A and B are shown apart, each in its own frame.
Chain A
Amino acid sequence: MDVILFTFFALVAIVGAVSLVLQKHPISSALSLVSVMVALAVLFLLLGAEFIAAAQLVVYSGAIMVLFVFVIMLLNAGAERESRKGGLAQFLGLPLTAILLVFASYVITQSMSNAKAVKFGAFTGGGPREVGWELFTRYLLPFEVTSILILIAIAGAVVLARKEID
């Protein structure tokens, strides 16, 4: 069962990611990204991260993607036009990314020789209770600093997006 669930949702994630890159219209890209995020939420659940899976659905595929779709609609963004060549990235981008991928896979398979096998239900320390406990004891300072970050982000977004007053 684990193998089937992992294979299915990993394929959904990869197909969605490829579709995100290949689609010409931003709305199609946004919907592909939503499918990737939902598939990743299921994979988080398989890894025992219940709280992160829920947060992934609510924060990412809920709030952030709604913001994206909202901006795409607001700007009435049409299909991407073909434009002049991008120079160096056009020729070196694909080979360099392939090298990065092969190297990363090599390092992963070499260094993770003592890796566990993933079985759904084997790790139960990812519920809201455990995450909340860690967040408000050991990670209290980063958590509070995050609130300042969000405050700055709100102020920045309001200042950047406001209309100029003559």
Chain B
Amino acid sequence: MSQLLPPEFFTATVPLNAYLILSAILFAIGACGFMFRKNIITIYMCIELMLNAVNLSFVTFSYQFGKVDGQIYSFFVMVVAAAEAAVGLAIILTIFRNRGTLQIDEIDTLKN
């Protein structure tokens, strides 16, 4: 195996910036979905995507500084996301029961 492939194949490294830029790209895609989608569940999933992108940044900075603190922060983000998912989905259930729709532009009682 090691004769077939050049040695750079096993020693090549990824720049840290690539992880941070990937995180920014995922965050931007999530923000786009948040603005353009109309289904309340899909919007909610876009928020989860943005939280995940921020987690990737935290873990990347943890690698950069050689400390575990960034990973602890991303652990807390996960806990808050889990709590938020439980409460948010309960709110979605209540909205659907009261209004019979999941389209956010049909839920406009506070408008006008």
Measured CB to CB, the residues of A under 8 A from B are: 1-3, 6, 10, 13-14, 17-18, 20-21, 26, 29-30, 33, 36-37, 40, 43-44, 46-49, 51-52, 55-56, 59-60, 63-64, 67-68, 71-72, 74-75, 77, 80-81, 83-84, 86, 89-90, 93-94, 97-98, 100-101, 104-105, 108-109, 112, 115-119, 123, 125-126, 130-131, 134-135, 139, 142, 146, 149-150, 152-154, 156-158, 160-161
Whether A75 pairs with B37 at a CB distance below 8 angstroms is no
Please measure, in the bound complex, the distance between the C-alpha atom of A149 and the C-alpha atom of B83, giving whole angstroms: 8
Of A125, A150, A161, most B-chain CB atoms within 10 Å: A161
Knowing A68-B89, A146-B79 are in contact, say whether A14-B29 is a contact too (CB < 8 A).
yes
Tell me which residues across on chain B come within 8 A of A156, comparing CB atoms: 86-87, 90
B interface: dominant SS: helix
6 contacts between A and B (CB under 8 A): A43-B56, A48-B63, A118-B63, A125-B66, A131-B71, A149-B80
In Å, the complex CA distance between A52 and B64 comes to 16
Let me know if B32 and A97 touch, CB within 8 A. yes
Please report whether the interface of chain A is mostly helix, strand, loop or mixed according to DSSP: helix
A116 CA to B61 CA, complexed, in Å: 10
| In the complex, number of A-B residue pairs with CB atoms less than 8 Å apart | 239
Which residues 38-93 of B sit at the A interface, judged by CB distance below 8 A?
A: 38-39, 41-42, 44-46, 48-49, 52, 55-56, 59-60, 62-64, 66-69, 71-72, 74-76, 78-87, 89-93
